[in-house]
Amino acid sequence: MYSMNLLIEVVRSFLLSIAARCPTRFCFKRLLGLTWIACFFHSAILAEDTNLQSVSSLIEKIQSDSYASREIAYQLLLSRPDEALQPIEDSLPKVDHDAATRLIRLLGAWATRPDSGNGIQAWEALERLSAGGVTSNSQLARYVSTAIALEQSEVASKKLKGLSAFIGTEMIQVVTAAKYDLCILRIDDTFRGTADDLLATRWLLDPVLVRLDGKRIDRKWLEKIIEMPNVKTVQLKHTSLTADDLQLLGQMKTLDTLEILYMPLDDSSVETLGTLPIWGSLRIFGTEISPSALPKLESLLEGTQVVFGLGGFLGIQSNAATLEVSQVTPGSGADKGGMMVGDRILSIDGKLLQNFEQLRKELGKSPAGGHVTIEVRRYKREIVEERMMVVPVDVMLPITLGEQ
């Protein structure tokens, strides 16, 4: 129907362009009326005929010198993505520059429909073209795909935030003393969407860390997350994911850190974890994997840092060298046990500590809910011989560890 109207409009525009030069207004009106009727029937026949034409013939017509033929072919191809997508990609190296531009525009039009299978296929076709070097087609495909990605990223972010996903910058401490400002996507029990809503995450450009938290997180959720383009860190906590499900992470190309917290994984998971392409570190806390399985996991992930703990979480931030506490997490075991900012940690269960790494290893020996005694040195102001002095006092704090 669109092509019919287009052809009529082309003829109408041509006739109107000569109207001013027509000496007889009546003759022009008669000519216009007859031509209008003729165009109506001709375009109806043409539209019916072109619907029967093959995709290959329409691709040929998109190279036509006739503007009307090009536009009609373009609109008909646009309405037939199932048939046209692959032939268009195959024909791009063979057509001239102008035709290639129109065909890449077609791919871009389909790619802006991300919720459809054709939209995803068109996007993937643009990505393949973009990787084709420095040809004009590759440059145009990169321009089109970049524009689409920026637009869809904004749309996806708005949609997910509307469903109570958190997308933004947050101070992150990944089970170390170090802290980072990172853009994250957090999906937890407050998220009001479903796994299908996470299809939009493949367009999110800013998040480099994804945190999935909650029992309803299963394989379907993870299938969507692994398509995010710039994610380097994945945190999984209290999910229903199995070792087989985690094999999906093998499809990620940029996985630097994987953190697994309080999930029902046991020693049988070690083989699977050992196959994942983790470039930086694997951190496992609060699982059923035993400490005896750690050497095998380290050998499978040669070159990757493996950090292991039974899951006990103290809830502080401290100087890595001096162990002077700089922050106590409200409601944590440290907070409930009386630890204060400014305390310097000396020992845990009688074992002297020199740095944060030693503290982390000792805490890793206790599960969430486990009990430890931590000795700290704090400084109090006291009057000594009628003078106000700062006096060091060593205090023993019984602490029940929580979850990270």
pLDDT in tens, 140-197: 989 998 898 898 899 999 999 999 999 998 776 554 445 567 899 999 999 999 999 9
H/E segment holding residue 180: strand 180-187
Q: What is the pLDDT along the chain (404 residues), one digit of tens a residue?
A: 444 555 555 555 555 555 555 555 445 555 555 555 545 444 444 444 444 468 888 988 988 888 888 888 888 898 888 888 899 989 988 888 899 999 999 999 998 886 667 888 888 889 888 887 778 888 998 999 889 889 889 999 999 999 999 999 877 655 444 556 789 999 999 999 999 999 889 889 999 999 999 999 999 999 999 989 899 999 999 999 999 999 999 999 889 999 999 999 999 999 999 999 998 999 999 999 999 999 999 999 999 999 999 888 999 988 888 999 999 999 999 999 999 999 999 999 999 999 988 998 898 899 999 999 999 999 877 776 667 777 788 999 999 998 87
Neighbouring-strand partners of residue 399: 372
pLDDT in tens, 232-264: 999 999 999 999 999 999 999 889 999 999 999
The model carries a pTM of 0.72
DSSP for 48-108 reads HHHHTS-HHHHHHHTT-S-HHHHHHHHHHHHT-HHHHHHHHHHHTTTS-HHHHHHHHHHHH
Do residues 258 and 283 make contact, with C-beta atoms less than 8 angstroms apart? yes
C-alpha to C-alpha distances, 42 to 4, 54, 75, 132, nearest whole angstrom? 9, 20, 17, 42
pLDDT of residue 23: 54
Sign of the dihedral through C-alpha 320, 325, 327, 331: positive
* Cβ within 8 Å of residue 303, ≥6 positions away: none
pLDDT of residue 180: 62
The Cα 74–Cα 84 span in angstroms is 11
What residue has token string 């083989």?
271
The SS3 assignment for 139 reads helix
Per DSSP, 324 falls in state B
pLDDT of residue 45: 42
Question: Counting Cβ atoms within 10 Å, is residue 54 exposed (0-12), middle (13-18) or buried (19+)?
Answer: exposed
Residue 192: which of 211, 218, 166 has the closest Cα? 166
| Total residues found in the chain within this entry | 404
* Cβ within 8 Å of residue 54, ≥6 positions away: none
Per DSSP, 241 falls in state -
Residue 225: which of 190, 252, 206 has the closest Cα? 252
The Cα 197–Cα 209 span in angstroms is 18
Per DSSP, 367 falls in state B
Per DSSP, 7 falls in state H
Neighbouring-strand partners of residue 83: none
Give the tokens for residue 16. 């109107």
233 Cα distance to chain centroid: 11
Residue 144: which of 105, 113, 198 has the closest Cα? 105
Residue 160: which of 206, 116, 119, 191 has the closest Cα? 191
The Cα 259–Cα 284 span in angstroms is 6
pLDDT of residue 258: 95
Do residues 261 and 211 make contact, with C-beta atoms less than 8 angstroms apart? no
Query: Strands 281-285 and 305-309, how do they pair?
Result: parallel
Please give the sequence-ordered ranges of beta strands (E in DSSP) within 264-386, or none if there are none.
Answer: 281-285, 305-309, 316-318, 325-328, 344-348, 351-352, 371-384
Give the tokens for residue 143. 């321009």
- CA–CA–CA angle 334, 399, 295 (5° rounding): 90
Do residues 169 and 183 make contact, with C-beta atoms less than 8 angstroms apart? yes
pLDDT of residue 48: 43
DSSP for 328-340 reads E-TTSHHHHHT--
Domains in the chain, CATH or no CATH each: 2-158 (no CATH), 167-309 (3.80.10.10), 316-400 (2.30.42.10)
